Structure 1
Amino acid sequence: MNKRITSKELAKLAGVSSATISRAFSSDSRISAETRNRILSIAQEHDYQPNALARSLNSQRSGLVALVVNSIQNPPEAEQLQYLVQRLQTRELLPIILCCSGYDDKAHLMRMASAYQVDHVVVFSDMVSYDDAIQIFRSARPIIVSSEPLTGKHASHINIDGSNAVREVIDKAVADGRKHFAYLTGRKSSWIDKQRKQWFADALREHGLAFEAEAHGDYSYDSGFKEAVVLLRRSKVDTVICGNDVMAIGVRDAATRVLGKRVPEDVAVVGQDGISMADWECLDLTTIALDAAGFIDEVVRLIERDQSQDPEPERVVLDLKVRWGSTC
């Protein structure tokens, strides 16, 4: 086994400066392919790897990005994270993913990540205190993603607004003669779910309508299926709005397979999130969706913008869109 060497020793072996060694291990640095390949070959021969921690001390940048999420088991979050992680890695930024679900002391979780001197933090989770996140990651200029209106927060904010898309869905449902609406919620403490329900309640109010029934799930397929059986048996609901797509798929299956109802003729089903599975031909779910690519583009843009000196916090509003399917 070859003994590991230092960057200075590698530079001497390659006949280049220490700065050239650093550039060889950075994909966006200006260095000829021949020189880079020669340095990497010698490095491999002597089992050399650059010390990222030492480099971060010199540059005052760690290249780490903390991503605070509810759960990576949640399909929309998993899909967004997959795309975001790929985008970050192409920029030689490494994500630290903090999953808040099932973790009681979420402030401690964030403090653990902040100890690594992360350069950036993006808070997707509505389980954490935004004030805590901003305080704990104050040197990283947090980016908050939320449907909640944030004022007086020294952080950039990506605000998700679904009011126009929801109004479009309700307008069509009412035009189709639907009058009896129910809402299937997810986690009761979720600000996002409360905001989503409020968008629909406001749109129904414009037509002199309101939710006639409500059920409580947990964002899972099983909860959507189980709650739909009870809900549709005990009421004359003709439209079920669900807190996410996974529950909506459960509602659709319960209506057709257990209760013998036709979707959408007897009961319409609407989901929220726009997960890729909802677009499968066998499901073809109508859902309120976020443009995932455009959303991640904005996140990455704010991260890159925050690398400049003392940028002012920025507020970005992204509108949700209706992705029409055969269930409504």
Structure 2
Amino acid sequence: MNKRITSKEIAKLAGVSPSTISRAFSGDARISERTRKRIMSIADEHDYRPNAIARSLNSHRSGLVALVVNSIENPCEGQQLQYLVQRLQERELLPILLCCAGYDDKAHLMRMASAYQVDHAVIFSDMVSMADATQIFRTARPIMVSFEPISDPNISQLVVNGSKAADEVVAKAVSDGRNRFAYLTGRNSSWIDKQRKRWFADALARHGLSFIAESHGDYSYDSGFKEAVVLLRRSSIDAVVCGNDVMAIGVRDAATRVLGRKVPEDLAIIGQDGVNLALWECNDLTTLALDYAAYMDTIVGFIEDQALGREGAATVTHDYFVRWGTTC
């Protein structure tokens, strides 16, 4: 193996100080663009790249952010992560992505990431134990996203509220003559899934109504399709609220293609998440949506506060809004 050239050797070749080499690679504005380009040219010629591990030992900062998610197959999580990863990279922070779906020992998965001395940890997954996450990432002051609110001075929390949006959707559906509502859940173990159902149950109760049927999916298109066939054949339903948009699209396809129901004339369908897929003309779904840019910016703000050493926990709530389509 060829011996790697050092920053001191690059500095000597470029006729500058070692600190100037460091500034060139960090984007420091204190050196001219002409000097930066000359240093980069010499570095490329000698296959030099700065040693991030050595730099982290000196600064006690790794620049790593653990992102603990359920699955990147989920359009909602993928959409969120695309924006968040871009924002982190703009700040020269590198994400470590941990996908919990299909992995039995999720605590071990988080310990593997923590071994790299991550500076920050953002927990999106509802498949992990909150106690495990806070213990394993305790030095990183974990950021919990859409978990059941907890009182912990070392944890920042991002929570969501869809009660007003659910009220708006239910009021519209009831005014259109709907009075036989069903709910298609995603995962019963999920705190946020229970919250989503409660928003709509409370909204219905204000009109003297309740869900007359319920079915259980797994957030996938297939589960939405299959459960809808059984649910709609078994009960006289005129509105289905789904735990996410992907299942709602499955419900719409089952209703129209298999059962011959017209949407929204015979059946109203409401999703939740507001993913880009729901906007497609072929779907045009009525859904509870979030301002994902503002949502992810809150996480970035938490990370920046931590990096600046600001103490104290923070809890920020984001409200869903209704994105109207043609399914309700």
Q: Same fold (TM over 0.5)?
A: yes
Structure 2: distance between partners of 1:197 and 1:3: 61
Structure 1: distance between partners of 2:305 and 2:292: 20
1:159-238, aligned counterparts within 5 Å?
159-238=159-238
Structure 1: distance between partners of 2:40 and 2:2: 15
> 1:31 corresponds to which residue?
31
> 1:52 corresponds to which residue?
52
Tell me how far 1:154 sits from its aligned partner: 2.5
Indicate the SS of the match to 1:278.
helix
CA offsets per residue over residues 54-106 of structure 1, 9 Å max, x none?
A: 00001111110000101111110011111111111111110000111111111
Code of the aligned partner of 1:46: H
> 1:101 corresponds to which residue?
101
Check the 8 A contact 2:152/2:313 in 1, yes or no: no
Structure 1: distance between partners of 2:154 and 2:34: 46
Tell me how far 1:197 sits from its aligned partner: 0.7
Gaps of 5+ in 2: none
Structure 2: distance between partners of 1:123 and 1:277: 24
Taking only the aligned residue pairs, the percentage that are identical comes to: 72
Check the 8 A contact 2:225/2:251 in 1, yes or no: yes
Tell me how far 1:311 sits from its aligned partner: 2.0
1:304-323, aligned counterparts within 5 Å?
304-323=304-323
How many residues were matched structurally?
328
Gaps of 5+ in 1: none
> 2:64 corresponds to which residue?
64
Deviates more, 1:117-126 or 1:142-151: 142-151
Q: Aligned-residue CA RMSD in angstroms?
A: 1.4
Tell me how far 1:208 sits from its aligned partner: 1.2
CA distance 1:29–1:96, change in 2 (3 Å): farther
> 1:291 corresponds to which residue?
291
Structure 2: distance between partners of 1:104 and 1:128: 10
> 2:152 corresponds to which residue?
152
Indicate the SS of the match to 1:4.
coil
TM-score in terms of structure 1 length: 0.97
Code of the aligned partner of 1:39: I
Tell me how far 1:135 sits from its aligned partner: 1.5
TM-score in terms of structure 2 length: 0.97
> 1:250 corresponds to which residue?
250
> 2:15 corresponds to which residue?
15
CA offsets per residue over residues 267-308 of structure 1, 9 Å max, x none?
A: 100001111010011110001111111111111111111111
Tell me how far 1:150 sits from its aligned partner: 2.1
